[in-house]
Amino acid sequence: MTRASLLLAMLAASFATLPAPSLAQDPGPTRIIVDQGVIEPLPFAAPLFVAEDAAAAEIATELTQVMANNLVGSGLFREVPREAHISPVTNFDSPPRFPDWSAINVDALITGAVASTEDGRLAVRFRLWDVAAQQTIGDGMQIVAPRDQARRIAHKVSDQVYSRLTGEDGYFDSRIVFVEESGPKDARQKRLAIMDQDGANVRYLSNANALVLNPRFSPNTRDILYTSYETGTPQVVLMNTQTLQRQPLGLPGMTFAPRFSPDGSSVVLSQANGGNTDIYRVSLGGGGATRLTSSPAIDTAPSFSPDGSQIVFESDRGGTQQLYVMPASGGGGTRISFGDGRYATPVWSPRGDLIAFTKQAGGRFFIGVMNPDGSGERLLTASFLDEGPTWAPNGRVLMFLREGRGANGAPQIMSVDVTGRNLRRVPTPGAASDPAWSALLPD
Amino acid sequence: MTPRTLALMLSAVVVLAACSREEPNADANAGLEQSNLGGQWAENSIGFFNNVIGDRVFFATDSSVLDAAARATLDAQAGWLRANPGATAVVEGHADERGTQEYNLGLGARRANSAYNYLISQGVEAGRLRTVTFGKERPEATCSDESCWSQNRRSVSVVANAPAS
């Protein structure tokens, strides 16, 4: 099959039941388009990365597996299993035998090699191949990192593959901060935890002595904000997830629902005072709090637009919970949600194009997205309780919490892509809620 | 048994005890004497407040309005707090599970504030009271229907600085 015919076949499969997308002028190499809903995942092969010395062998297996799991987990790719491979890849520098890969219907081939450097680090090389075109997609790449960073290398390779095949930024080299829950529903214990995006490397950040809620990442991916009942009243606390050093923001009264500004220098949150909940902005460099809303309603769940100029929030000022957008300096507020039911927990996508939300209607809860002006509402999930979406750094995938009915209904973290496809449970050691997705990690 | 139904039963016991004291049993003439030893809890105790007066009031869905039953309970709470001036109370506001977390924190704050303001209007010093919202974090009943949700939409006055029983 020629490169052009492969592309056309893929596009036809991808959009079989969807409105015709605007096809790119230049078809380019093997590609899939993320936001249109992929019906037929693109088949790839990931032969075990070649271990170039004994110390690299174990890591090569793990690294290849982590990468393949990422790609399959995105729902956009399907792995052609290793048992089906015809010719092994034993030398990274030799070109693949393309007919052996096209014979088993592989579109994208990932080859790699792992070696130990003289100073004991890992050097990982990889190439991505368009099998039909018999050429690489982008240049080969080498990543050198300490041995204990093997999984992160795998995530970075995954991001490269994802990005080259979709034209979108990747999201695999990122973390989730969340709340682990244990104990019965009427005496639930909660503690903060952090893990890699794929559920690996779970680490606890607090003990279960005090109730904790809604952790949120700083853009620096190191610090978090969360709400703690340590003092007996809900208070927003800033924590460094590496040192576990904590610093209450020190605002009077009850504060909750914190979120960082896109530059990380300030925080928006809710403060309840005399039964009235309003939104405030607090500079982390000092200077006190600025009140942004002053209605007698419950104004809460604020989230900045990625350019920092606007804030979307929920309010019951019109009688029921609805979504509003206001300038980041506060005041006013334009209602953007007009469908049936109640709208809550709006979160602006990091790419700015969509706002995700929780909707409550007819006794059910939904995760949905809409344009920032409120048009184009689409519901992605529904259940007894779906709540609290958080965006992947590329704005193409959401995580949220899902909880079942009754005393045994423990929450779990789910993921879904922005088209509503690929609903999956995110692995966690126990019951888990309140996920918040970091930006891509710094190198 | 919920604390609420327990409180109702105990109230009935107190009423019966009061009746028997006013109208002595005919057997007293036969040399038998009986006297009232009081309820399980001393009247100045936290146990009396929680179980005889009732430490909580309930709200309609998405409402922080005090109905007649809630006001009656809060009247009795205020009377007890006036009679026991050393006691303090944290007024907790709670919501059922059928709302989002942040909104329910706001709703719990509203409910706590309704009860708090009512207690102050009945003569309890503001300095003895504090409010806190728990949103939907601390349900009393865990089934997923109205029979449980109605128990969870509540404010609870948690008394301290008084004898336990």
Mean pLDDT to the nearest integer, A366-392? 98
Taking 80 as the threshold, does the pLDDT of residue A12 lie above it?
Answer: no
Q: So what's the pLDDT on residue B83?
A: 97
Q: So what's the pLDDT on residue A139?
A: 94
What is the C-alpha to C-alpha distance for residues A303 and B157, in angstroms, rounded to an integer?
34
Taking 80 as the threshold, does the pLDDT of residue B21 lie above it?
Answer: no
Residue B142 contacts A where some CB pair is shorter than 8 Å: yes
Candidate from A214, A272, A360 with C-beta closest to B106: A272
Interface contacts A/B by beta carbons within 8 Å: 97
Place of tokens 């987990």: A73
**Listed residue (A236, A233, A230, A222) closest to A191, CA to CA:** A230
Taking 90 as the threshold, does the pLDDT of residue B13 lie above it?
Answer: no
Query: What is the dihedral sign for C-alpha A19, A22, A27, A28?
Result: negative
Q: So what's the pLDDT on residue B7?
A: 46
Taking 80 as the threshold, does the pLDDT of residue A114 lie above it?
Answer: yes
**Listed residue (A282, A351, A292, A350) closest to A324, CA to CA:** A292
What is the C-alpha to C-alpha distance for residues B12 and B6, in angstroms, rounded to an integer?
10
Biggest CA pair distance of chain A: 73
CA distance to partner chain A, nearest, from residue B106 (Å): 6
Q: How confident is the model at residue B30 (pLDDT cuts 50, 70, 90)?
A: confident
Mean pLDDT to the nearest integer, A277-298? 94
Mean pLDDT to the nearest integer, A48-67? 94
Residue A3 contacts B where some CB pair is shorter than 8 Å: no
Residue A358 contacts B where some CB pair is shorter than 8 Å: yes
**Listed residue (B85, B96, B87) closest to B157, CA to CA:** B87
Q: How confident is the model at residue A26 (pLDDT cuts 50, 70, 90)?
A: very low
Taking 90 as the threshold, does the pLDDT of residue A370 lie above it?
Answer: yes
Cross-chain residue pair B102–A184, CB shorter than 8 Å: no
Candidate from B99, B110, B141 with C-beta closest to A275: B110
DSSP class of A298: B
Q: So what's the pLDDT on residue A288?
A: 84
Taking 50 as the threshold, does the pLDDT of residue A7 lie above it?
Answer: no
Taking 60 as the threshold, does the pLDDT of residue B41 lie above it?
Answer: yes
Mean pLDDT to the nearest integer, A400-404? 97
What is the C-alpha to C-alpha distance for residues A156 and A67, in angstroms, rounded to an integer?
9
Q: Which residues contact A305 (CB under 8 A, 6 or more apart)?
A: A262, A311, A312, A328, A348, A352, A372
Q: From chain A, pick out residues whose CB is under 8 angstroms from the CB of B109.
A: 254, 272, 275-277
Alpha-carbon distance values, B159 to A41, A242, B137 (Å): 61, 40, 20
Mean pLDDT to the nearest integer, B22-33? 59
Mean pLDDT to the nearest integer, A306-329? 97
Please report the DSSP string for A116-182 in residue order. E-TTS-EEEEEEEEETTTTEESS--EEEEE-GGGHHHHHHHHHHHHHHHHHSS----S-EEEEEEEE
pLDDT digits (tens, 9 = 90+) for A156-180: 999 999 999 999 999 999 999 999 9
Mean pLDDT to the nearest integer, A104-122? 96
Residue A405 contacts B where some CB pair is shorter than 8 Å: yes
Proportion of chain A above pLDDT 70, given as a percent: 91
Burial of A311 (0-12, 13-18, 19+ CB in 10 A): buried
Residue A249 contacts B where some CB pair is shorter than 8 Å: no
Chain centroid, CA A43 distance in Å: 23
Taking 90 as the threshold, does the pLDDT of residue B57 lie above it?
Answer: yes
HEC string of B59-112 equals CCCCCCCCCHHHHHHHHHHHHHHHHCCCCEEEEEEECCCCCCHHHHHHHHHHHH
SS3 assignment, position A95: coil
Taking 70 as the threshold, does the pLDDT of residue B10 lie above it?
Answer: no
Taking 60 as the threshold, does the pLDDT of residue A5 lie above it?
Answer: no
Q: So what's the pLDDT on residue A120?
A: 92
Query: How high does pLDDT run on average in chain A?
Result: 91
Q: Which residue has the higher pLDDT, A18 or A196?
A: A196
Q: How confident is the model at residue A24 (pLDDT cuts 50, 70, 90)?
A: very low
Taking 50 as the threshold, does the pLDDT of residue A19 lie above it?
Answer: no
Taking 60 as the threshold, does the pLDDT of residue B82 lie above it?
Answer: yes
Q: Which residues contact A403 (CB under 8 A, 6 or more apart)?
A: A384, A385, A387, A409, A410, A411, A412, A433
Residue B88 contacts A where some CB pair is shorter than 8 Å: no
Q: So what's the pLDDT on residue A58?
A: 86
Candidate from B99, B105, B140 with C-beta closest to A234: B105
Proportion of chain B above pLDDT 70, given as a percent: 82
Q: Which residue has the higher pLDDT, B37 or B106?
A: B106
Q: So what's the pLDDT on residue A269?
A: 98
Cβ neighbours, 10 Å, residue A189 = 15
Taking 70 as the threshold, does the pLDDT of residue B18 lie above it?
Answer: no
Cβ neighbours, 10 Å, residue A201 = 11
Segment 157-186 of chain A within 8 Å of chain B by CB: 184-186
What is the C-alpha to C-alpha distance for residues A312 and A322, in angstroms, rounded to an integer?
10
Kindly give the pairing relationship between strand A50-51 and strand A108-116. parallel
Q: So what's the pLDDT on residue A332?
A: 86
Q: So what's the pLDDT on residue B5?
A: 46
Q: How confident is the model at residue A34 (pLDDT cuts 50, 70, 90)?
A: low
**Listed residue (A26, A49, A62) closest to A128, CA to CA:** A49
Residue B146 contacts A where some CB pair is shorter than 8 Å: no
Candidate from A254, A314, A345 with C-beta closest to B133: A254
Q: How confident is the model at residue A238 (pLDDT cuts 50, 70, 90)?
A: very high
Proportion of chain A above pLDDT 90, given as a percent: 86
φ, ψ of residue A396 to 5 degrees: the values are: -115, -10
Burial of A306 (0-12, 13-18, 19+ CB in 10 A): middle
Residue A257 contacts B where some CB pair is shorter than 8 Å: yes
Residue A410 contacts B where some CB pair is shorter than 8 Å: no
Mean pLDDT to the nearest integer, A335-360? 97
Q: So what's the pLDDT on residue A316?
A: 97
Taking 90 as the threshold, does the pLDDT of residue A292 lie above it?
Answer: yes
Q: So what's the pLDDT on residue A249?
A: 94
Q: Which residue has the higher pLDDT, B4 or A202?
A: A202
State the virtual CA torsion across A50, A52, A56, A61 in degrees, nearest 10: 10
Q: So what's the pLDDT on residue B37?
A: 76
pLDDT digits (tens, 9 = 90+) for B85-134: 999 999 999 999 999 999 999 999 999 999 999 999 999 999 999 999 99
Q: So what's the pLDDT on residue B29?
A: 61
Mean pLDDT to the nearest integer, A387-403? 98
Kindly give the pairing relationship between strand A266-273 and strand A276-283. antiparallel
Mean pLDDT to the nearest integer, B38-45? 89
Q: How confident is the model at residue A290 (pLDDT cuts 50, 70, 90)?
A: very high
Alpha-carbon distance values, B57 to A179, A210, B72, B94, B114 (Å): 30, 25, 9, 10, 11
Mean pLDDT to the nearest integer, A20-40? 54
Q: How confident is the model at residue A37 (pLDDT cuts 50, 70, 90)?
A: low
**B134: nearest CA in chain A?**
A234
Q: Which long-range contacts (CB under 8 A, 24 or more apart) does A323-328 make?
A: A323/A355, A323/A357, A323/A374, A325/A372, A326/A292, A326/A293, A328/A261, A328/A281, A328/A304
Written as six digits, the tokens of A96 are 């693949």
Q: So what's the pLDDT on residue A21?
A: 34
Cross-chain residue pair A270–B90, CB shorter than 8 Å: no
Cross-chain residue pair B109–A277, CB shorter than 8 Å: yes
What is the C-alpha to C-alpha distance for residues B60 and A249, in angstroms, rounded to an integer?
34
**A363: nearest CA in chain B?**
B98
Candidate from B98, B114, B139 with C-beta closest to A275: B114
